Structure 1
Amino acid sequence: MMNKDTHVSVIIPCYNVRDYIDNCLDSLINQQCLPKEIICIDDGSTDDTLLILQKYSSKYNYIKIIQQDNQGVSSARNRGIEIATADFVLFIDSDDIINANLLHQFESSLTSDPNLEFFYFNYTFFDVSKAPQKSNKLIPLVQKKFESGIDLLTYLLERKNYSGVVWRYIFKRDLFTKNFIGKNHEDHLVSLSIISKARLSYYFNNKEAYFHRVHSSSLSNINIDSIYVHT
């Protein structure tokens, strides 16, 4: 495993995810290139989530825990952004898993193009009851370059492959100017705000970059990606 740190702050809102958070954190601490920091916002969990976070934090000094009363995922994400110190940010859902090579892939892209501001990647679903079997598979280089986020957005919309969820991209922290405000599907508004301001952007088209856990009641089962998109 590489020991090189990346330019990425990972932000994970956590609420009563004792059954999943270890899978999520394991996928991060086993990255070929480690994040600069992992910021876990414990949003008033009432199960053993905080204890699990503390176990990881005691072992890895780049894992930070922020505790707050239950205020919801929007507040947790905003708090994470306030604390983040890296140039780039990646939001992760606390029950999801990322490929062990994803941050290395991003870092390689950033080294090739230091002006990179927005790194959008593909993903796949997996069932709530089991973790994917290929989370450590080496990702081949499959990416496309765009001179602006708008160009990337146009490309994705034309191919019906745009999703406004905020865990589908790594972005330059300075692009975050629109706070989460607690409305349904607000990911889409924040994502559009970020991508519309981005300049040099990459699309990493590999479905094994990110693994999104699906619950029966998850909003991810509902096709809502086009609600805030008008073409």
Structure 2
Amino acid sequence: MKVIKVSVVIPVYNAKDYLQDCIKSLLSQTLVDCEFIFVNDGSTDNSLEIIQKYQEEDNRIKLISQENKGIAEARNAGIEIASGEYIGFLDNDDFVKIDFFENLYKNAIENNLDILVSKTILGRDGKYIIKDHGFNTNLIFTKDVIQEQIISNLLKVEDLFAVWNKIYKRTFIFENDIRFPGNRVIEEDNIFNIQAFNNAEKVRFIDYAGYYYRDVADSKSRKTIENDYFSKALEKYYLDYKKEYSLNISYEELEKLKAIRFVQRVFYLVYKCSVLKIPFKIKWNYIKNMVFHEKVYELSKKYDEEILQGKGLYERIVLKIINKKTSFLLILLILSIQIGYHPSISETIRKVNKLTKKR
């Protein structure tokens, strides 16, 4: 019997405009011994027909069709039928280099890894840039180092959230009953990865980028106000990760890491809301309620130095507005971002902000 080396799970929901690029990149993989598990999550466009068309041409495509349950449940459905030595994930509007899964699989199998992490090619403002994972690529992380460095990273920042630039040993996933939380609208990736890394014995980061993440304008991640991302960030701050996932971390350290991430999330949401093409009154009311929320103020005062560590001018301005509770400055900031934002100069603005970082 043919051994499946990698099972790739692809949740699909109304992706007709991008799905063919995704499928073609999979069928062109240099690692032939793969299976591609498409989970049609109640699409109302012709996504299902597109998958079926390609399935007739290549029997490596497996298809699950279900009522709309969300991306977490769609991925879980794919995991349940996966038979590969390793499991990978691909979003339906993204695509990969032809050697992506071969590179990841060879490294993972040679080192008997539970998890392997690659870099990402990030589509942003009409251009692609390589996003570093920020970890040493010359060593294998074992249990103690994972607990010390990676778990804290997952709690503090968002660099390792994604599941699609990684592959996971299938037996490891099943033995530790690691699944996506079905009750979350966003950031289900992070919960999955906290469980995975918390149980992992061997992890490696590689100096290779082959996953093209496409920042699609109509994706759920763009519906910042509609999905009320601030409330979800607040919910995550109050989540007891230590109890929920048996993390080996003190509550004092846990609170600090969650606070840093929560306030830095506010920095991000202020920018994302400011550039939305919606009436100013709507964005102003949302941003104002977020920035001047009592918990944001409390944590900004308590952890101001830790929050600003490695951050630039923009973050320092937002923190000052939070701590001084100055509505006038906040209005000026929103207007400055709204007027000054343009995709062609956004990367330049990010670089300038990095140059102003405090060391």
Q: Which residue is equivalent to 1:117? A: 114
Q: Which residue is equivalent to 1:56? A: 54
TM-score for both structures, normalised by structure 1? 0.79
Q: Which residue is equivalent to 1:136? A: none
In the superposition, relative to structure 1, how do residues 100 and 187 fare at CA in structure 2: closer, same or farther (>3 Å)?
same
CA-atom RMSD, angstroms? 3.3
Q: Which residue is equivalent to 2:196? A: 194
1:209 aligns with 2:205: no
Alignment partner of 2:107: what SS? helix
Alignment partner of 1:109: what SS? helix
Aligned equivalents of 2:11, 2:144: Cα separation in 1 = 28
Structure 1: 5+ residue stretches without partners:
133-141
Q: Which moved more, 1:176-185 or 1:23-32?
A: 176-185
1:168 aligns with 2:165: yes
Given candidates 153, 157, 164, the residue that maps to 1:157 is 153
Structure number with higher relative contact order (C-alpha < 8 Å, ≥ 6 residues apart):
1
Q: Which residue is equivalent to 1:179? A: 179
Alignment partner of 2:205: what SS? strand
Alignment partner of 1:46: what SS? coil
Q: Which residue is equivalent to 1:137? A: none
**Aligned-pair distance for 1:73?**
1.0
Contact 1:75 1:182 in 2 (8 A): no
**Aligned-pair distance for 1:5?**
7.3
**Aligned-pair distance for 1:34?**
2.6
Deviations 1:141-171 (A, max 9, x none): x94332326635716939x773212212100
**Aligned-pair distance for 1:65?**
0.8
In the superposition, relative to structure 1, how do residues 195 and 214 fare at CA in structure 2: closer, same or farther (>3 Å)?
same
Q: Summarize the alignment of residues 75-86 of structure 1 with structure 2, pairs less than 5 Å apart.
A: 75-86=73-84
Instruction: From the CA coordinates, give the structure whose radius of gyration is larger.
Output: 2
Contact 1:146 1:152 in 2 (8 A): no
Aligned equivalents of 1:51, 1:144: Cα separation in 2 = 44
Deviations 1:159-184 (A, max 9, x none): x7732122121001233323322313
| Counterpart residue identity of residue 112, structure 1 | E
Query: Normalized per residue, which structure has more helix?
Result: 2
Given candidates 62, 65, 87, the residue that maps to 2:63 is 65
Structure 1 segments, 4+ long, off by >4 Å, are 127-130, 217-224, 226-231
Structure 2: 5+ residue stretches without partners:
129-135, 242-253, 258-359
Identity %: 29
TM-score for both structures, normalised by structure 2? 0.53
